[in-house]
Amino acid sequence: VEAEDTNALRAAVDRLHVADLADLIEQLSHEQRRILIAALGDDLDPELLSELHGPVLTEVMELIGPRGTAEALSQLDTDDAVYVLNEADDEQQREVMAELSVEDRLMLQSGLSYPEESAGRLMQRDVVAVADFWTVGRVLQYLRREADLPDRFYEIVVIDGDRRPVGTVPLDRILRTNADLPIGMIMEPAEHLVPVDMDQEEVAFLFQQYRLVSAAVVDRDGRLAGAVTADDIADVIEAEVEEDAMLLGGVAETDIQETVWTTTRTRFAWLFVNLGTAILASAVIGMFDAAIEKIVALAILMPIVASMGGNAATQTLTVAVRTLATKELTTANARRVVLKEALVGAINGVVFAAIVGGIGFLWFGDWELGLVFAMSMIINMVAGALAGVMIPLVLDRFGIDPAIASGVFVTTVTDVVGFFAFLGLAALLLL
């Protein structure tokens, strides 16, 4: 790339799968990207755009210009074209739209009209649909003659006179069936129809639960609007699980491609909330400044109580948030799970109380201090376990995503309870 050797570059790129080329481009610097895109020129595979993400995608669109982008979009499947256009900034979107044919523009505008992360955004518009009275032979003939079919499909949708799906037929069943049977005889009833405005997380759940490879999407009147396939769902599943993991870690998304400035701003909010809770915990310590002045060992040991409670809580929280997302934790078994977590917290609390009680005694030679240390450890680990499972349950009940807000509440509980229990017991028993 450095040498700007156009021909060698083209040859190297030709050997790459478009998805690998996209990964390569995301790892280059801005300058290298400019050179590479210029070298590719008109040879650029339109699919490349649908494999890029976020800031790199808008940068590449900038490099190939509105006309080049419009050209590429017109060759993509509708779901991919809508994805690319959605990532463009407002000005790019306007410029590209102006370069599109009227037909493509209307199609993309209707695609963009579905809410983000809905089935309407995931679906491919072109679907192979046939009437239920057609014979298998007629379907085969239609497939062989019709040129305007989707690139790849795995089942055929059977529709009634109003374009409402009544069933689906996997392709292997068509291949295994006698040509003179009507297709309505071999179809499976359309059980798992996806409404256009269903959230993509729900769609992914359907695919996983019923092991689907393809599902018909219907509009608000129940008419066939498109189809979602398993290859799109793989990305959704990954994105949804990743989203929860990122939120638990206090970040909005994997922002590795974002600028320093954007990253700093998005992370600031979470750190600011954390500062508030840390000050709250410190205010609790401030209540006991007299005790600390007399026994400096309290200041040395108190972070251990808070830290162990916080870790026990994080363990419980991680499991609770995940099992709420997969619907393993529900109102039906909530009581049982809360009881179990409290018990786990209590048992580990007692074990660690014995350990830290001994440490407290050996370190400072004071068995009363060891006792206070041990007692506060049990209290905080049970409190942590309870907070770790109950806070996400309550947030979920109120319709708030537990992944986004649980962490703050839970560590606040264990810091406050930890410091209060340890210093309070010390003030009561040791002074």
- Contacting a second copy within 264-293 (CB under 8 A): 264, 267-268, 270-271, 274-275, 278-279, 281-282, 285-286, 289, 292-293
d(CA 348, CA 337): 16
Pair of tokens at residue 261: 């400035």
Q: Which of 387, 420, 385 is nearest to 405 (CA)?
A: 387
Choose the binding region for a second copy from 91-99, 112-120, 248-256, 368-376 (rule: CB under 8 A): 248-256
CA 334 to chain CA centroid, Å, is 24
Helix, strand, coil % over all residues of the chain, rounded to 5: 70, 10, 25
Does 7 help bind a second copy (rule: CB under 8 A)? no
d(CA 357, CA 371): 6
d(CA 430, CA 427): 6
Choose the binding region for a second copy from 81-89, 157-165, 220-228, 320-328 (rule: CB under 8 A): 320-328
Residue from the set 3, 102, 332, 362 that interacts with a second copy by CB under 8 A? 332
Q: State the Cα angle at 147 between 120 and 220, rounded to 5°.
A: 20
Q: Which is nearer to a second copy, 197 or 258 (CB)?
A: 258
d(CA 68, CA 238): 31
What does the DSSP 8-state code read for residue 288? T
Does 365 help bind a second copy (rule: CB under 8 A)? no
Write down the residue that tokens 């939120």 correspond to: 247
Q: Which is nearer to a second copy, 78 or 229 (CB)?
A: 229
Q: Which is nearer to a second copy, 47 or 62 (CB)?
A: 47
Give long-range contacts, CB 8 A cutoff, 24+ apart: 5-10: 6/39, 9/35, 9/36, 9/39, 9/40, 10/39, 10/40, 10/43
**Which residues, in sequence order, are CB contacts of 279 under 8 Å at separation 6+?**
none
Does 256 help bind a second copy (rule: CB under 8 A)? yes
**Helices 30-40/54-75 angle, 10° precision:** 10
Phi, psi (degrees; rounded to nearest 5) at 213: -115, -15
Instruction: Map the footprint of a second copy across residues 21-80, applying CB under 8 A.
Output: 23, 26-27, 29
Does 359 help bind a second copy (rule: CB under 8 A)? yes
Do the Cβ atoms of 21 and 48 come closer than 8 Å?
yes
d(CA 365, CA 372): 13
Give me the helices (H) in 128-176, please. Answer: 136-145, 171-175
Report the nearest approach of a second copy to the CB of residue 262 (Å).
10
Residue from the set 105, 195, 315, 361 that interacts with a second copy by CB under 8 A? 315
Choose the binding region for a second copy from 18-26, 93-101, 108-116, 392-400 (rule: CB under 8 A): 18-26
Choose the binding region for a second copy from 5-13, 64-72, 104-112, 261-269 (rule: CB under 8 A): 261-269
Binders of a second copy: how many residues, by CB under 8 A?
Answer: 110
Instruction: Map the footprint of a second copy across residues 85-144, applying CB under 8 A.
Output: 140, 143-144
Does 323 help bind a second copy (rule: CB under 8 A)? yes
What does the DSSP 8-state code read for residue 195? E
Instruction: Map the footprint of a second copy across residues 169-198, applying CB under 8 A.
Output: 170-172, 174-178
Does 13 help bind a second copy (rule: CB under 8 A)? no
Give me the helices (H) in 165-259, please. Answer: 171-175, 183-186, 200-209, 230-248
Report the nearest approach of a second copy to the CB of residue 405 (Å).
15
Beta bridge partners of 215: 228
Does 308 help bind a second copy (rule: CB under 8 A)? yes
Instruction: Map the footprint of a second copy across residues 199-238, applying CB under 8 A.
Output: 204, 207-213, 229-231, 233-235, 237-238
Report the nearest approach of a second copy to the CB of residue 299 (Å).
4
Residue from the set 7, 42, 91, 296 that interacts with a second copy by CB under 8 A? 296
Choose the binding region for a second copy from 67-75, 82-90, 110-118, 240-248 (rule: CB under 8 A): 240-248
Q: Which is nearer to a second copy, 7 or 29 (CB)?
A: 29
d(CA 401, CA 244): 9
Encoded one letter per residue, x for contact with a second copy by CB under 8 A and - for no contact, window 148-167 reads -x--xxx-------------
Report the nearest approach of a second copy to the CB of residue 104 (Å).
23
Do the Cβ atoms of 263 and 401 come closer than 8 Å?
no
Q: Which is nearer to a second copy, 350 or 371 (CB)?
A: 350
Does 6 help bind a second copy (rule: CB under 8 A)? no
